[in-house]
Amino acid sequence: MVIQNSWRMLKVKWQFEEIKRSCIVIQRIYRGFQGRNEQLAKADAIKNEHQNKFFEEQAKMVQKL
């Protein structure tokens, strides 16, 4: 009986560890995806800011003429 209990406990422990590892992998993948999206959004914002500054300077040059 003790052997059977120990074996069942070990199987449940293995299943729990497998589920835990799977959850960690899913979290890692999602956090990477989220981080990449945030980085792309920041890069786009910086690019747009630079473009706006450039166009404003061009508009000033045209207005001087």
Per-residue confidence (pLDDT) for residue 37, from 0 to 100 = 98
Distances (CA, A) of 2 to 9, 33, 59: 10, 47, 85
Per-residue confidence (pLDDT) for residue 14, from 0 to 100 = 97
How far apart CA 65 and CA 53 sit, in angstroms, is: 19
Per-residue confidence (pLDDT) for residue 47, from 0 to 100 = 96
Per-residue confidence (pLDDT) for residue 17, from 0 to 100 = 97
pLDDT above 80 for 59 = yes
Per-residue confidence (pLDDT) for residue 65, from 0 to 100 = 72
The model's pLDDT over 19-47, given as tens digits with 9 standing for 90+, comes to: 999 999 999 999 999 999 999 999 999 99
